[in-house]
Amino acid sequence: MLSYRHSFHAGNFADVLKHIVLVEILEYLTRKDKAFTYIDTHAGAGLYDLQSDHATKLNEATGGFKKLEAEDWPELETYFEVIQRHNATDSYSQYPGSPLFAQQVLREQDRARLFELHPTDYEILSQVFEKDRRFTIEPMDGYRGLLSQLPPSSRRGLILIDPSYEVKSDYETVIQTIRKAHRIFETGTYALWYPVVQRERIDLLETQLMKSGIRNIQQYELGLSPDSEERGMTASGMILINPPWVLMDKMNQILPRLVETLGKDSGAFCKSEVLVGE
């Protein structure tokens, strides 16, 4: 299990991968004028203080986004724009959560629905978005919240499923939820984040999705070190259903460079795979 609230881990290497993928999908959706809906099942606090007791306890941002120089990554312009927007200097005292990356890309006609159960994070999230009418924030279970919103009226959408996996049942719940959601909203894009703490759990997750009957599934993973039986996250990944057709080429360029920059040792790795074809 992970010791979780996201404030302990904000800006780490897993966030780098997750938010790069998120921005790429959102920007692809804006290529069409028609509105779309962004749904975040575990939205968190929205903005994280990297000088807080939580963040400095593990200091994971120093091995994550802080190792990247914006000028070296022109293809990730929007990703760095969002970070810089919420920091007055290059010292980077804050890191934006997924909803703020979405806010940067969403247009006037687009809508977002955010779910967050933790009362403190919900209050912070509500304050961050209180003046943005495109965003609706609800203090409820994100799995149930997601299913209540499908299909969106726009009939276009991105669903980010980003649980803590602190409760072991999350691994099974995400599969059940995705199956139900896909039956209701087959054309939506689904982005599932996962941590590699015990590889066998991820192997089972992949197998269940591959046997679900759902088509067009891709996987991207970034590991700082080889799989280990020791406690802690060595890698993280994203599993995508109905991803943009351009995403694979883009990630094939980005991931090896992230390994070089963020990898802790010679065992660092990345992978990009088609789990199920179209």
8 Å CB contact between 156 and 123: no
- Tokens at 151, concatenated: 């299909």
| Residue type (1 letter), 251 | M
- CA separation for the pair 71, 80 (Å, rounded): 9
8 Å CB contact between 63 and 258: no
Is the N-terminal amide bond of 195 cis, ω within 30° of 0?
no
Catalytic amino acids? Answer: 162
State residue 257 phi and psi, 5-degree precision. -70, -35
Between the alpha carbon of residue 88 and those of residues 46, 84, 94, 95, 99, the distances in Å are 18, 7, 9, 12, 20
- Tokens at 78, concatenated: 């929007």
Q: Reduced to 3 states, what is the DSSP secondary structure of residue 25? A: helix
Angle at CA of residue 102, ends 51 and 209, nearest 5°: 100
Q: What is the CA radius of gyration of the chain?
A: 17
Q: Are strands 111-115 and 135-138 parallel, antiparallel or unpaired?
A: parallel
